[in-house]
DNA sequence: TGTACATCAGTGAACGCGCGTTCACTGATGTAC
DNA sequence: TGTACATCAGTGAACGCGCGTTCACTGATGTAC
């Protein structure tokens, strides 16, 4: 990889490099197909900077990867919200689209998905509380979407939105992660499988 | 780790070391909590042998890990079959126990579970066909268990056992793998969560 | 307007480390004659 | 029964490699006076 030409940031604009590093890392993870294979050196080559400059912005490599996680979580939340918004005022359809968008995003960015949900757990940088963990927002949105289905009478009134949201999350994660991890299994056609799983989830919660 | 004293195998018993290496690897994966952290040197220390002796039995490290996979798959199949056998002649209960045994085994051996289902796919050693892949047998047993539920009239007659088995697998995998990967999430009580998910699966397929 | 100086955004070279793997070798064990 | 020899189950030392990180340094840029 030939180093990109990069002009040094002007005074006060040092933070620009931080964003460029996160960008490059997110992209390299997909390109190299393995977050472990993404080295500090490769990231710096891609940005056009020398390895030590990473440490101007991140205490260590883990914190750079954590920044990537935060960004990917926020993208994932975005695509789910946008998908849900296309469902008109049908909460069940919105929930279904939310789930399908989750799976689609995971399959389109398998290595970043792996970083979020399949990697070894590594502690967050600070004593970050649960509420501010990246990913919490997306889960809250899911929980609200389930509650909307209960409120409109489509789901049984005894459905606990929290428990159901957890169950749905594990459901969509299951198919996404196995498709990523075991691509050689003789899977049924993907869209049919995902539709089937989402339908099962809805069926199990419906009145 | 101080090298275990180990007597050299007698003539014709060289294969013994192979088994000892697989044993030690499976165990070290759980002990160190990370399959990537298990080095050839650590394995050989545990067995009481020098690193080059691995290459008497395995072409490279990947093939040693593949042998561990095959063993763990077979254990997993065992515990599911035994769990199913405790259900008397109720196929639905047998299926439920099969699923719960799967989750339980995964949570009891998280790092070996990770090796089977959450690691980067790495090609099998030979041109192993699908039928002889480790893990295929366990899936066939699951599929048969689903079919039994259809045959006894508990599941809808239009349920496709293959598609349903895939869906169930992704379901139990979802909860198992997320509990392993994201232990810090505010999970509901484990048994209740697993029971809920299994119940949902059954509910979605029942008449 | 000129200039000394502090600050900022980086760099070049090297550090120690652990890894998978290879090479030439050893010493005990069984076997042929 | 003795002995030369082939085979087997390993070993000791080293290989090259890439990694995350650190250290002392640089050169452009803005600022105070």
pLDDT digits (tens, 9 = 90+) for A52-64: 999 999 999 999 9
pLDDT at B124: 67
If you measure CA to CA, which chain A residue comes closest to B174?
A: A174
Tell me how far the alpha carbon of residue B65 is from its chain's centroid. 13
Q: Quickly give A129 CA vs D24 C1' distance in Å.
A: 38
Judged on CB neighbours under 10 Å (0-12, 13-18, 19+), A15 is exposed
Q: Quickly give A11 CA vs D25 C1' distance in Å.
A: 19
- Region A4-26 average pLDDT: 90
Q: Quickly give A91 CA vs C22 C1' distance in Å.
A: 63
Long-range contacts of A25-28 (CB under 8 A, 24+ apart): A25/A64, A25/A65, A25/A68, A26/A68, A26/A71, A26/A72, A26/A112
Indicate whether B169 pLDDT > 80: yes
Average per-residue pLDDT in chain A? 93
* CA neighbor of B178 nearest in space, from A164, A116, A63, A79: A116
Six-digit token string for A13: 């604009």
Which of chain A's residues have a Cβ under 8 Å away from the Cβ of B182?
117, 121
Nucleotide nearest to A13 (CA to C1'): C9
pLDDT digits (tens, 9 = 90+) for A88-116: 999 999 999 999 999 999 999 999 999 99
Say if the Cβ atoms of A167 and B197 lie within 8 Å. yes
Report yes or no: B201 and B171 within 8 Å, Cβ to Cβ.
Answer: yes
Banded model confidence at residue B1, pLDDT cuts 50, 70, 90: very low
Which of chain B's residues have a Cβ under 8 Å away from the Cβ of A156?
none
Judged on CB neighbours under 10 Å (0-12, 13-18, 19+), A131 is exposed
Which of chain A's residues have a Cβ under 8 Å away from the Cβ of B193?
163, 166-167, 170
- Region A36-55 average pLDDT: 96
Instruction: Give the least confident one: A202-206, B6-10, B36-40, B77-81.
Output: B6-10
* Pick from A36, A170, A178: CB nearest B197: A170
Q: Please tell me the distance from the alpha carbon of residue A189 to that of residue B1, in angstroms, as a whole number.
A: 49
Indicate whether A27 pLDDT > 60: yes
What letters, b where the CB count within 10 A reaches 16 and e where it falls short, cover A55-65? eebbeeeebbb
C-alpha dist (Å) from residue A63 to A42, A60, A124: 17, 6, 8
Six-digit token string for A30: 């997909």
List residue ranges whose Cβ is under 7 angstroms from nucleic strand D.
A 10-11, 37-42, 51-52, 54-55, 60-62; B 6, 8-14, 16-17, 44, 48-53, 56
Instruction: Give the least confident one: A120-124, A198-202, B80-84, B107-111.
Output: A120-124
If you measure CA to CA, which chain B residue comes closest to A33?
A: B120
Say if the Cβ atoms of B186 and A130 lie within 8 Å. yes
**Which residues 30-59 of chain A have a CB under 7 Å from nucleic chain C?**
44, 48-53, 56
DSSP string, A59-84: SSHHHHHHHHHHHHHHHHHHHHHHHH
Which of chain A's residues have a Cβ under 8 Å away from the Cβ of B203?
203-204
β-pair partners for B206: B155
- Region A24-46 average pLDDT: 95
Banded model confidence at residue A122, pLDDT cuts 50, 70, 90: confident
Report yes or no: A21 and A58 within 8 Å, Cβ to Cβ.
Answer: yes
* Chain D, protein-covered positions (CB within 7 A): 8-14, 18-24, 29-30
- Region B42-46 average pLDDT: 97
Q: Quickly give A50 CA vs C13 C1' distance in Å.
A: 12
Rounded to two decimals, the pTM is: 0.95
pLDDT at A100: 97
* Pick from A121, A174, A192: CB nearest B170: A174
DSSP string, B134-193: TTHHHHHHHHHHHHHHHHTTSB-TT--HHHHHHHHHHHHHHHHHHHHH-TTS-PPPHHHH
Say if the Cβ atoms of A121 and B170 lie within 8 Å. no
Indicate whether B17 pLDDT > 90: yes
Q: Please tell me the distance from the alpha carbon of residue A112 to that of residue B65, in angstroms, as a whole number.
A: 25
Which of chain B's residues have a Cβ under 8 Å away from the Cβ of A178?
117, 169-170, 173
β-pair partners for B155: B206
């Amino acid at each position: 990889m030939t180093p990109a030409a990069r002009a040094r940031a002007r005074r006060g604009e040092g933070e620009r490099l931080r964003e460029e590093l996160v960008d490059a890392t997110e992209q390299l993870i997909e390109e190299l197909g393995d977050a472990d294979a993404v080295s500090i050196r490769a990231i710096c080559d891609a940005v056009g900077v020398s390895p030590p400059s990473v440490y101007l912005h991140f205490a260590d490599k883990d914190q750079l990867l954590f920044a990537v996680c935060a960004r990917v979580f926020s993208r994932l939340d975005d695509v789910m919200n946008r998908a849900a918004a296309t469902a008109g005022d049908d909460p069940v359809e919105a929930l279904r689209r939310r789930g399908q968008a989750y799976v689609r995003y995971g399959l389109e960015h398998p290595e970043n998905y792996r970083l979020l949900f399949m990697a070894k757990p590594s502690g967050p940088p600070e004593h970050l509380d649960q509420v501010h963990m990246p990913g919490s927002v997306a889960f809250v949105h899911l929980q609200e979407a389930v509650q909307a289905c209960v409120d409109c009478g489509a789901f049984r009134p005894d459905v606990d939105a929290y428990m159901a949201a957890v169950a749905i999350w594990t459901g969509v994660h299951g198919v996404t992660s196995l498709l990523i991890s075991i691509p050689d299994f003789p899977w049924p056609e993907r869209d049919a499988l995902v539709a089937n799983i989402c339908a099962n989830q809805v069926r199990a919660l419906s009145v």
